[in-house]
Structure 1
């Protein structure tokens, strides 16, 4: 799985998009209130620590069962503390990957696709570059 760094365009205010106060039902339809609550800046919503956050584009499908797919953009926070079960950007022997960090019963980087094998590692050879906090995916055909 290859990773491509994405640099956001510099902006003082970001792009503000409308956000509606009423949630949308994923089951049965509900009547819409039909009014906007406020504006939403996706950067403000997805980035808690701007100086510690970066974006990456994913290639490959080793994380498909975590709903991370080829072409998705990951929001990665370097200040977030990785723990058992975190989705992380890791480097082993200067090779980058996105995987789930497993600490029990033995440390490994776990792909979330049964077609791929876990990556066991020597803790001294592993570098965690950050924890994935959001995934941006396209639903357009």
Structure 2
């Protein structure tokens, strides 16, 4: 997993004021809103934000595919239900944090992979909460 700092040029791009229908075309120029700064949108706290590239397919059920970029916020408190970047026994992984009974589990979103039970013996920490997924279509 490659970890890199968030370093985007400051460019404001136009944002359409209305959602674009996925069926009927509409003239977009009439609906322009204020410019959108992608830095503000994906990284409201840039000092705590970083990108990470995904390797593998354990999270395809969450729309996270091999080669995607994740925008991760280290300042957000991880909660059950969040997709997180975790360090487990010295290795990084991206999984969904799930409460199971009295404990926590790191759950994949691909049936080919088993959940990672977090026991008292597990060396575990959350590096950050995944806020956005960037992938090509």
Give me the TM-score of the superposition, normalised by structure 1. Answer: 0.86
Q: Unaligned regions of 5+ residues in structure 1, if any?
A: none
Does the Cα contact within 8 Å between 1:22 and 1:32 map onto a contact in 2?
Answer: no
Q: Does residue 127 in structure 1 map to residue 125 in structure 2?
A: yes
Q: Does residue 90 in structure 1 map to residue 86 in structure 2?
A: yes
- Counterpart CA distance in 2 for 1:45 and 1:101 is 24
Match of 1:34 in 2: 29
Residue 23 of structure 1: how far off its partner (Å): 1.4
Match of 1:108 in 2: 105
Match of 1:118 in 2: 115
Task: Flag as ranges the 4+ runs of structure 1 deviating above 4 A.
Answer: none
Match of 2:134 in 1: 136
SS in 2 for 1:25: coil
Residue 101 of structure 1: how far off its partner (Å): 0.5
- Counterpart CA distance in 2 for 1:78 and 1:9 is 16
Which of 40, 47, 62 is residue 44 of structure 1 equivalent to? 40
For residues 64-116 of structure 1, what are the alpha-carbon distances to aligned partners after superposition, in whole Å with 9 as ceiling and x for unaligned? 00000111111111111111111000001110000000122242100000010
Query: Paired residues, what number?
Result: 134
SS in 2 for 1:34: helix
Match of 2:72 in 1: 76
Q: Does residue 22 in structure 1 map to residue 18 in structure 2?
A: yes
Q: Unaligned regions of 5+ residues in structure 2, if any?
A: none
CA distance change for structure 1 residues 10 and 69 in 2, over 3 Å: closer, same or farther?
A: closer
Give me the TM-score of the superposition, normalised by structure 2. Answer: 0.88
SS in 1 for 2:100: coil
